[in-house]
Amino acid sequence: MAKTSWPEVVGWPELNAYDQITLDRPDVSVGFYMKGSPLPSGYDPKRVVLIVNASGVVIETPVIARADTRRVMGRAMAGVVNGATAAGDDLKSSWPEVVGWDVIPAGVKIYTERPDVVFEIHTVGDSVAPGHDDHRVRLFVAAGTTNIAQTPVVG
């Protein structure tokens, strides 16, 4: 039976937790979500949800996403009215200024401007699932580093 939760990584830095999860389950994608941010809806047997604090430390047991995981953890989603983006909003959608930054400060910067988005971290060249999500930012890091290599954008 494939592993579906990682209680041992609570208290670890997010990238160490990511390494452990992908070592145990190389077939899954790991989504990083700051405490207070909305989680994706729907069951995906290939998605692990990591809840981290502002310091990038895992604060809840990471699990495979379940059908009941869409929730807002004590925070209103900026620019969202009844689940839809408000018309005429001026929400920021790209962060060229964080290219070259370490992934954690980059994530904090993006989160301060868009607390309604969730993050996925990928190495440049990784294949990613197709599709657009107005509440997702993919952070592409240079191979072997934790530095942002491409401009993060919403989608």
| Contact partners, residue 57, CB within 8 Å, separation at least 6 | 11, 12, 13, 14
Q: What is the mean pLDDT of the chain?
A: 78
Residue with tokens 């910067």: 109
**Is 0.85 topped by the overall pTM?**
no
Which among 109, 133, 121 has a CA at the least distance from the CA of 50?
121
Classify residue 23 as exposed, middle or buried by CB count within 10 Å of its CB (0-12, 13-18, 19+). Answer: exposed
Task: Say yes or no to pLDDT of 152 above 50.
Answer: yes
According to CATH, what is the number of the domain 92-155? 3.30.10.10
The tokens for 64 are 């495979």
Q: Are 38 and 136 in contact (CB under 8 A)?
A: no
Class of domain 1-67: alpha beta
> What residue spans define the domains of the chain?
1-67, 92-155
3-61 pLDDT, tens digit per residue, is 888 989 989 998 899 999 999 988 888 888 887 777 766 667 788 888 888 888 888 88
